[in-house]
Structure 1
């Protein structure tokens, strides 16, 4: 039996890859075979659960992307689809469609859509309703048969369930014979696609229609959107008026004439951001001129194309797992990804937030994960979709090696934390040194001019002249910025060095007065609890911090 997921497979055989498809992986043949087999096994598991058990283990849009990726990888490594991997092999029903169901070619970007529109006239646009496609046959005005899409040529007989659905017109006003194609959809109240996505509405409809018995309550939640009258008049407005007269009102309500790309873009954005009674995954563009029904095939026609919305969740392939060590020693795992598009943004990496979360998820290179945008801005990891085997070893830093008193100087594995300390020191929250950022500090470290947090105090023109990329002008500007640090007040220096913050800024007095306080003395200050008191005492007594204070005192920095 054909379901919407199976339509994805059919389209893959016919049309270019989706915009989130990537280039070919750089894998040897054995690795490619293993990765393709693993993805195929996972998709087969999803298919079995979806078609046989009526349970969806993955969202529709992630499933579609997994299918695209599988076919892309097969194309990259010249592998033919296997029979086991073809969901159409079990989809073909026993009831022939009087007119085949065509697919839709997807236009993947604005330019492709604009070119398609420019070459045609008498165009209309409709929401691309995200549901289950069917054929409806009326004889002498009465609903006689409803056929699932199947493989586009043959489907299953859904007539018994369809007779229970109030949203399907059972008796036409006239005693005519009529053949229609449309989409069964799950009714949603004021659904805004751009905010809540598809809600797996497609899977819900498929699951309900695959049941042996459809309850009255479930039947009442199903609507119908007619998108094709194969034997109808060429004039689309006349088609829509006739459909509305017969009771199929959604088609006219949600169809708009267009003549330009700007008009198409307007309606696409409008339907994405305004309430609709159904889930959608894009828009469909139609032209009035089309082939006669006798020539329709189970393939994409020339008279209609789909322009899909950007995906809300993207299936991303993990290239690398690296660990970012921050100024205070916090370890943040970062997943480096093969680029994917989310909301027309290219996403190349996503943070896991904490080492503990990475340890719980155990994500390795080669894994495939689902990502989305938090607040439509920040990439976030949603879940692991597929794990790669064998597992790739990852060098994981020890959390005990990094803390708020580690890496004041260069040492094995310390460069990243020291670089973060230097970046903080020169930033607006620190000494606010103009023209100095992370890249400048990195260049100085690589050139061997900096080994500790305050080594730069004694840099001069001669030392900078030995570094590639520093000309006379840039060297003079850098030195002027570094020397301006000597004029910064003591409190600003304390913040730049990374002294643990206090609620009421209880840092009056010079360095020696602060360093003389023990934990009890710090805790006696208003607003400082036991934990912060211990941190402050440890900071001012740390041997490397004490050594830096001596360097700053010798340099004549105020307060030291």
Structure 2
């Protein structure tokens, strides 16, 4: 008993110590211990919690590293609606807003608080007894997704607040979760290496990250949080918004120190002008300024419209644009053969950076803008981190400006380009001999979400390709036999080769669904790879399935099925699979397949749409399959039932009604399985 008490005390002491060190590091910029010592303490706590899980605290610092898998995020109703703010791009509108405030307060004195509007995801956090208990997205303003396990991975966000006798037992904090610019740039660089489309801005990246099912991946994205609002059942815990911000910071919550009080609308405008350029020096994207009446009693007096508070407004900075010369269009070939045009420009300062390149998207965009070499073009950033050409200064067009002729052959290998019907991109069909495609496929295979081969990053496999050492993923597994040759290469050496060899050996244990994703079949992303792997269990049935059979797999539509079937019929791809099998790569799921439960749903097909209360969508799909039914992704007259959950799209409901497809709920489906009918 004494030993267990000692263990419990040890866990408590380590938890408090790590919370304190996190606060010092992330809030006060103080490193009281080395990274090595901090990691040692964290590992010690992890080991104890693993051995004695009953003593682990819900907000343990070990939650920072993630590891929770969420199949479906539940939803929760906001205690206080998350309203939107009225927006304006006009200083004249701000003065009109100020006049309305004056009238509403009947001549009383008032102050504003000005805050930078960080470009991220609005989040509502609930703290009880100083502990973080819930994180909910804005959603529709009334209900949002509960993403607490993902929120807990944010290192700047305290899971346990500093003790303060004035802190209420239960309150909410509103704030913005965002992705720092350097993290965003790193993520896009990784996506570019993997042949994936680039994310347009950090806001989209942060939003997508919070929806990830694996909190360990969320933790690796290094999201951050700034608090900007306090809410409590006790309406007047503080006299003003500024006093609440100061309290939140005192309790340990991250509050940006860029906010300021303003005694007049002229001071508000001064703040806006000050940050017009200075905001680009910040490590986070911003898109405007939020102005709020400071006094909370005055906020109550001013009240709300149906959609937004009358005591606050958001000023949005105009999109940052520049004018420069278009010198050249170059063409990049991606992993799937898509040929993307990129404009090379005279350098132009834009949104805190010097822009030399801009996206032109595709041939349609070039034609729509009537771009010509030598044109003076308008380049815009705004909320988009990747610059894009938005127009041409036709009055400045040189007489000798040359029309841009889109290439008819691949800029890398000379193969005639094709443009599949319904697609905007031209493509190089020479996937076996086009160097950029081959190199990108290798980079994709070794990437983190695929085989994640330690010691074989994009740069290394690209170098091996250029040296003629590898051409396909299967060639990678022959590299250990060239040990003596590899250690002679510059910037490699014995340790690097040993690490690579160990990484290749470890990759043979990577699950089949990740291997399937790593093969780089067009349209087969992570989710589709998981569905195919779960349905067929191994590679051979996939290789032998028809497009029609593949299309019947949940979330695998006709386009994807055609792509997979075509890939499987290529002899070179079949040879690749056999070589990977021979190397020991996992080409089937381990463990026993789920056993059928009944034939009650034989001959029936279902579409699942929305969020379900009792089961995740994946669990319902499996339940249907185990009882003889099939799940498809599209609604047709042959469909047996549409199973409707919360937040189901109106388009699917309307289509089902038009085609007279019966619409049932989750409870109805469960009844069919248990009782054999509705």
TM range (shorter): 0.3 to 0.5
TM-score (norm 1): 0.43
Higher relative contact order (CA 8 A, sep 6+): 1
TM-score by length of 2: 0.36
Q: Which has the larger radius of gyration?
A: 1
